[in-house]
Chains A and B, each alone.
Chain A
């Protein structure tokens, strides 16, 4: 297990969902995704349509990390906010803590200033929840006991095989 490993328990997921739901109400944004910096989606709240959150998470984490590398070339620790403006939809990505980022999708119902203001507040609260979550045991319930080798035989169903 590496230092980066994380577990989101039901209790933490519920708290984060409640916070992000309130954030969407406050900011009038459309959707919020909490993403691990390695590219894994942690939780999503409020997609009004079907979003490919897995791809969005991987690409946003990639964009955020390459922006971070750019910042370091300029002598900055990182650029803590990334903003993409589209014709209808916009995207705001900001730092939560050293391991997570918050991606917000919004349209002309709100402004980047509103999103930034409330995202900052929500990120701080989420950071506290994640810090608590990291203190809990990673494996509980059915995952706590060691699992036999036979149970762990992944086999991808290759339809051409």
Chain B
């Protein structure tokens, strides 16, 4: 949910990285945190279990362009991917402005991706959000692994929709595709909030 603060000259947006467990959502935030200059980022918080699985969320505030004198700030969140943490996933989605769906490209995780995407749609519906009307992008992560499905196959499984969304191949731990994904979703959010044309070109 965007907050325009005229007194602070800032516009805040919330971006949630969603996807099945161990797909690389936290890895995306960790790479952004490690590579952004200090002036553009705040502290990263990870509420994780002892074995580094996200328990509640990771959080990283970042800032980008200035729009008509207003600083645009994006608060990046991840959700826990495991199926049984659905209650906390739902809580993190409250007030979301845009979503990055991080899919695990390995063949044996394809079913988990499809289930997680369906779960995202259901959870958004509980807040009266329609995934087909909001800014979101797909990231096919772990492209460096040997047993990955071809991109076309990933598209067929996850992006065969009335409104296809931008998709990116990534190796998040190495930073490949991380900024392409973030720049695109944040641009889509800005366009949907302020754009002359409501449709986003990529």
A151 vs B64: C-alpha distance when bound (angstroms): 12
B78 within 8 A of A: no
The residue from B40, B62, B175, B187 contacting A152, defined by CB atoms under 8 A apart: B187
A66 touches B88 (CB 8 A): yes
Q: Pick the interface stretch among B66-74, B136-144, B149-157.
A: B66-74
Q: How far is the CB of A150 from chain B (nearest CB, A)?
A: 11
Contacts A40-B14, A142-B69, A152-B190; A5 near B62 (Cβ below 8 A): no
Question: How many A residues have CB within 8 A of the partner chain?
Answer: 49
Scan residues 5-36 of chain B and give those whose CB is less than 8 A from a CB of chain A.
5-8, 12, 14, 32, 35-36
B101 within 8 A of A: no
B84 within 8 A of A: no
Q: How far is the CB of B165 from chain A (nearest CB, A)?
A: 17
Tell me what chain B mostly uses at the interface: helix, strand, loop, or mixed: mixed
A69 vs B90: C-alpha distance when bound (angstroms): 10
Contacts of A52 in B (CB 8 A): 42-43
B42 touches A156 (CB 8 A): no
B75 touches A160 (CB 8 A): no
A155 touches B64 (CB 8 A): yes
Contacts of B175 in A (CB 8 A): 158, 160
The residue from B4, B128, B182 contacting A156, defined by CB atoms under 8 A apart: B182
Residues of B that sit less than 8 Å from A by CB:
1-8, 12, 14, 32, 35-37, 40, 42-43, 45, 47, 56-57, 59, 61-62, 64-65, 67-70, 72, 74-75, 77, 87-88, 91-92, 94-96, 128-129, 175, 179, 182-183, 186-187, 190-191, 193-197, 201
Pull 16 A–B residue pairs with CB atoms less than 8 Å apart, ordered by A.
A7-B5, A7-B6, A13-B6, A38-B94, A42-B5, A54-B42, A58-B45, A65-B94, A146-B194, A148-B196, A149-B197, A153-B65, A155-B183, A160-B35, A160-B175, A161-B35
